[in-house]
């Protein structure tokens, strides 16, 4: 397959931050090297660069299975099916295994920015490598693993409604979701069965629901909670009295470190919101001690999270474009099969995935509706994007369709999927960096 150097797509990845390099296989019109040198730049490269590139290919971390086995389109003398990702802070370069052959046999000269990126790139599979990758969206999951339409596009090909998720206020999030995540957190911690005296890392800690549940249910040695949203960290600090808990502002790309790793690295209701869940789990594994536990818990948005299901069903009935914002559509990861595949891809062992269900009972319609007006989270962000008239129409639609008990309460339930895996006892590849 041929892609011009520095294209924003190739056979195995695509996106505005992607740069394809060395995809010289099938040239346009079937032209070969002898017919048209202008298909790529010819020149000399430093041998040290080639050696470094060969090392990256030898140890290549590949998020997808090989997309085919190919021979050189010019001499047919070499073949290869692997691909290599070279991330930087702002871009990720993707090259086929045959790039080394093109350089050595056909004098191909890659772009200088790619040469610089290869030279500076941390070892494949190292913690530093995954930290660089963590900021990029996982195009391959949306296109190759789950077979779903990329969430940035509607089924009819139009651009999705521009309503970004907002995570700006800890107090309003607490009212909307925190009261339910705290109930879920206790069951999630108990389900993990982590022994007492373990050091925990809570990734994407939000307002502190999981960190506090760990202290009340698991008797930890310590808990470090991290989240990139400063308002959430401020709220968590102000509402957590246990001396064993500390909170820091940090995302997946810079997790707090602990000598020897953490005995348990966990994430509650955050994994599906990370730009790249696959890399996030890799980074969590690297932060964990050998024989430690990596775990996550996500809502079953497609059918089990009933109050959100009622909300999005009503919203899309009134505004079909809202379906692209529905977490049930956006997050096919939130399914036991997808979660199990994800943890298996991170080389975790003894993987378990189970459902956890909690009741969500609202005293009245006002108790149900008011939290949607806070503007924090996907559904409240959508409500905030509506004008007053459309917001009132949506509220009336919900009030008409929600099930009620005789006493006026709205009794629903919320199901989540919990997944955990064990880090093997072998030393991590990150040790090669030291």
Which of 109, 90, 92 has its CA nearest to residue 49? 109
Residue 329 has pLDDT above 90, yes or no: no
Range in 140-144, 197-201, 282-286, 324-328 the model is least confident about: 140-144
Q: Is 197 exposed, middle or buried (0-12, 13-18, 19+ CB in 10 A)?
A: exposed
pLDDT at 10: 85
Distances (CA, A) of 49 to 22, 100, 104, 221: 15, 10, 12, 46
pLDDT: which is higher, 221 or 180: 221
Quickly state the pLDDT bin for 138 (edges 50, 70, 90). low
Of the candidates 283, 223, 247, which has an alpha carbon nearest to the alpha carbon of residue 170? Answer: 247
pLDDT, average across residues 6-12: 86
CB proximity list for 203: less than 8 A, separation 6 or greater: 226, 252, 255, 265, 266, 267, 270, 280, 284
Map residue 195 onto helix, strand or coil. coil
Arithmetic mean of pLDDT, 111-129: 92
One of 3.40.50.150, 3.30.360.10, 2.40.128.20, 3.40.50.12780 is the CATH number of 170-433, namely 3.40.50.150
Integer Cα distance of 349 and 35 in angstroms: 52
Report domain extents, the chain.
18-121, 170-433
423, 350 contact by CB (below 8 A): no
Q: Binning pLDDT at 50, 70 and 90, where does residue 290 land?
A: very high
Confidence (pLDDT) at 198: 98
pLDDT (mean) for 249-256: 88
Res. 426 pLDDT band, cuts 50 70 90? low
pLDDT over threshold 90, residue 73? no
Higher pLDDT, 37 or 367: 367
Question: Average of pLDDT values for 229-244?
Answer: 91
| Tens digits of residue pLDDT in 382-411 | 998 999 999 999 999 999 999 999 999 999
């Amino acid at each position: 397959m041929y892609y011009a150097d520095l294209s924003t797509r190739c056979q195995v990845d695509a996106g505005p931050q992607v740069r394809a390099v060395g995809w010289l296989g099938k040239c346009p019109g079937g032209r070969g090297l002898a017919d048209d040198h202008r298909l790529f730049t010819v020149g000399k490269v430093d041998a040290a660069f080639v050696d470094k590139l060969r090392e990256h290919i030898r140890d290549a971390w590949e998020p997808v299975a090989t997309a085919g086995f190919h021979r050189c389109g010019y001499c047919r003398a070499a073949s290869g099916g692997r691909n290599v990702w070279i991330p930087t802070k702002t871009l990720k370069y993707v090259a086929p295994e045959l790039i080394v052959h093109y350089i050595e046999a056909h004098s191909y000269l890659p772009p200088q920015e790619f040469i610089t990126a290869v030279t500076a790139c941390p070892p494949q599979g190292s913690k530093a490598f995954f930290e660089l990758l963590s900021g990029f969206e996982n195009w391959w999951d949306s296109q190759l693993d789950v077979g779903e339409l990329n969430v940035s596009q509607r089924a009819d090909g139009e651009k999705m409604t521009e309503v970004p998720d907002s995570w700006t206020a800890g107090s309003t999030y607490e009212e909307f979701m925190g009261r339910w995540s705290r109930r879920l957190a206790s069951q999630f911690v108990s389900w993990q069965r982590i022994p007492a005296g373990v050091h925990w890392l809570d990734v994407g800690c939000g307002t502190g629901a999981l960190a506090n549940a760990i202290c009340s249910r698991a008797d930890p040695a310590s808990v470090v909670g991290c989240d990139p949203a400063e308002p959430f960290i401020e709220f968590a600090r102000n509402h957590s009295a246990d001396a064993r808990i500390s909170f820091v502002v940090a995302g997946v790309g810079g997790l707090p470190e602990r000598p020897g790793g953490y005995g348990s690295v966990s994430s509650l209701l955050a994994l599906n919101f990370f730009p790249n869940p696959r890399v996030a789990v890799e980074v969590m594994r690297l932060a964990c001690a050998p024989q430690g536990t990596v775990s996550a818990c996500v809502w079953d948005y497609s059918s089990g999270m009933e109050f959100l299901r009622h909300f999005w069903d009503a919203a899309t009935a009134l505004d079909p474009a809202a379906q692209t914002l529905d977490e049930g559509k956006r997050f096919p990861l939130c399914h036991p099969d997808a979660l199990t595949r994800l943890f298996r891809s991170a080389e975790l062992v003894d993987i378990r995935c189970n459902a956890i269900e909690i009741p969500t009972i609202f005293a009245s319609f006002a108790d149900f509706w008011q939290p949607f007006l806070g503007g924090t989270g996907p559904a409240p962000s959508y409500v905030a994007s509506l004008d007053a008239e459309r917001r009132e129409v949506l509220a009336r639609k919900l009030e008409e369709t929600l099930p009620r008990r005789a006493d006026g309460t709205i009794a629903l339930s919320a199901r989540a999927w919990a997944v955990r895996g064990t880090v093997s006892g072998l030393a991590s590849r990150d040790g090669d960096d030291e």
